[in-house]
A = this chain, B = another copy of it.
Amino acid sequence: MGKARLEAFSDGVFAIAITLLVLTIPTPDDFHRLGHALVQQWPAYAAYLVSFTVIGIMWVNHHTVLGHFARVDRNLVYLNLVLLATIVFVPYPTGIFGEALQRGEGERVAAVFYSLVMTVNALAWAALWLYGSTRRRLLNPAFPEDQRRTATVLFTMGTLIYAGTIVVGLVNAYACLAVHGALAVYYALDPLSRWVSRFTV
C-alpha cells in the first residue's frame, strides 16, 4: 500500500470520527423549558468542542508526521490502524464526559476515563513515531538528525503529560477538560507542528 492511500484512508476516518462527535450531545427531554435545558447542556458542548479540537489538530499533525516519512511499510500500516482505533473511540468518552458533567454525577471518573483514552492515544502516536524514526527506518533523508531526537523526546514526554491529565481528572473534572483543550491548542502551536512549514510544505 502506498503512502497516499494510507493518508486518504486515515483522512476519511478522521473526518468521520470528528463528525460523529455531534451525536454525543443528547437531545434535551424538556421542550417546555427548552432554553433552560439547552443552557444546562453546556458541558456537552464544551466536551464536543474539546474533542473536535483534539481530533482536528491530530489530523493536521498526522499529515506532519507522515510528511516526514519517505515511505510506509506493513508494520506502519498496522501501527496506524492502532492509532486510528484510539481516535475513532474518542466520541465514546466524550459523550460520557459531557453527560457526567451535566448530571453532576461521576464527573471525576469520566475525566479519568477520558484522560486514559487520551494517554493510550499518546502511546499510539509515540509508537508510530518511534517505529518510523528509529534508526531513521522510514524517515525522509532530508529530515535533520537533531530534529529527530527532539521529536522523540517530545513524543515520549507527550505520553507522560497525558498520563498527568489522569491525575488532574482525579482532582477536578472541569480542570481536566480545560487541560485537554489547552494541550490540543499547544499541539497546534508546538515545535513539532512548526516543522511542517519548514520541511514538508
Contacts and interface: CB of A to CB of B under 8 A. Distances in A.
A115 to B, nearest CB: 13
A130 interface: no
Contacts of A14: 9
A110 B77 contact: no
A23 B25 contact: no
Q: What secondary structure prevails in chain A residues at the interface with B?
A: helix
28 contacts: A1-B196, A2-B201, A8-B8, A9-B14, A12-B15, A13-B15, A13-B18, A13-B19, A16-B19, A17-B19, A18-B88, A19-B88, A20-B23, A22-B88, A23-B23, A23-B91, A33-B106, A34-B96, A35-B109, A38-B109, A48-B89, A52-B85, A53-B81, A53-B85, A56-B81, A60-B81, A73-B197, A78-B188
Given A35-B106, A52-B85, 11 more contacts: A1-B63, A1-B201, A11-B12, A12-B12, A13-B15, A18-B84, A20-B23, A23-B23, A31-B106, A35-B109, A53-B81
Task: Please give me the 4 A-B residue pairs with the lowest Cβ-Cβ distance, nearest first.
Answer: A34-B106, A12-B15, A31-B105, A16-B19
